[in-house]
Structure 1
């Protein structure tokens, strides 16, 4: 049974089992017989829930989704509202409540804030996987983690990085869009062709400014095993900070030579880490 959603939620996970067949054949000059032990039912593979980050949508997971589906996993990519940590975590938690069976919960970038809060106390979430993601402790914010070490392109003057659009229902709050001139450097480095970067920038979904300064709640990674993928070329969350966060969460980590959008540039490595989490938590 699921535990009641808390105001400060946190993150995800799951596991798989193997079908075991044992056959014993006995052959003699007389009539031979074969005895086969009854097989145990195979444990169901977990549902993999992929949560996108800010300035993106679910299509950023397309390559990883295809690979996981090919390997027999059920995959869902619910929309991240990008409205604030608590609201987004509550929305995700409501979605998780509709899923039967074990879950591996995966978050990219800001999605790491969301899964960390959404999974708190959720017994179906067997593993959390962070892909170039924030892995917050209680009271951490996107802003505090981004600026913890030098190197993020988002660490300077926000007016030079973001275009702002008012949110009519929330006076004083604004939606932030990454300026096209900054988008490629931040997310793709030199690993994605300019024409593809232009498409990504054009269809970006904004993040509410309030989400940058909203504190995270009690982290689910304290009770749920965690894995992480660290892009060594990440220009949004410096790799050095990702290492610190991963070590704090005792996450099983890999480092790859990839930019912030590692699931786009290196979907094989990202998929392998997700599947490692699924198998390890069986």
Structure 2
């Protein structure tokens, strides 16, 4: 059986480069690895990834999502491409109808605060729906809660290069739950302050995912890439029989 294509979907405040350590190792093992842009705009995000899968892959796919990317792959997997497995890394794994803000509510997340502008910079953007806005992480949020286990220089790169997510993306209900029909793996960062580990575990257990843990922040695929690589390779092995 041919090796599956590995498609890595980034989350909010990131881009494809957040997968560099994972992608380079998988490529060295002979895998085709693709890191499409996640639009971070709402329902159209999953539609875009589904279209990408349909047009840019052939043969089996292992679909991987980080953070909000997990929300996207949960909705995109059935829409295009031959997805055989899902891998969630410090990620949302929503049930149908759930939204990001609902999942984080009461979780102890650093983002679940009475005044969101204490941790986020919220700004308008052209062409958006009435009342919508983009959210950037404040520098101190990156340093203390998002990527606290990375070197300071790398944290500043995240601050400077982050891609904002719209508020509407965080209030868009999940339309499907691909984990109900696809085998799933989950990497839980035990030091994650954005999606607390208890919340990650609860979603992963509900999805019947094979769970591994790593002593990493919300960006554990950057700070501890081997845990993510191992989970992806386990998904490959389990779906290649």
Q: Is the 8 A contact 2:50 2:77 kept in 1?
A: yes
Paired residue for 1:55?
A: 13
Corresponding position: 1:175 with 2:154: no
Corresponding position: 1:205 with 2:197: no
Change (3 A) 1:123 1:168: closer
The residue correspondences of 1:12-51 to structure 2 (distance < 5 A) are: 43-51=1-9
Equivalents in 1 of 2:45, 2:110: separation in Å? 24
Select the structure that is richer in helix. Answer: 2
Change (3 A) 1:278 1:148: farther
Please report how far the alpha carbon of residue 122 of structure 1 lies from its aligned counterpart in structure 2 after TM superposition.
Answer: 4.8
The gaps in structure 2 that reach 5 residues or longer are none
The alignment of Structure 1 onto Structure 2 pairs a total of residues equal to: 237
Secondary structure of 1:59's aligned partner: helix
Corresponding position: 1:257 with 2:215: yes
Secondary structure of 1:120's aligned partner: coil
Equivalents in 2 of 1:147, 1:238: separation in Å? 11
Paired residue for 1:188?
A: 147
The gaps in structure 1 that reach 5 residues or longer are 1-42
- Give the TM-score taking structure 2 as reference length: 0.96
Equivalents in 1 of 2:170, 2:41: separation in Å? 10
Larger radius of gyration: 1
Please report how far the alpha carbon of residue 183 of structure 1 lies from its aligned counterpart in structure 2 after TM superposition.
Answer: 1.2
- Give the TM-score taking structure 1 as reference length: 0.82
Q: Is the 8 A contact 1:121 1:220 kept in 2?
A: no
Secondary structure of 2:174's aligned partner: coil
Instruction: Name the Cα RMSD after superposition.
Output: 1.0
Please report how far the alpha carbon of residue 168 of structure 1 lies from its aligned counterpart in structure 2 after TM superposition.
Answer: 2.3
Corresponding position: 1:114 with 2:69: no
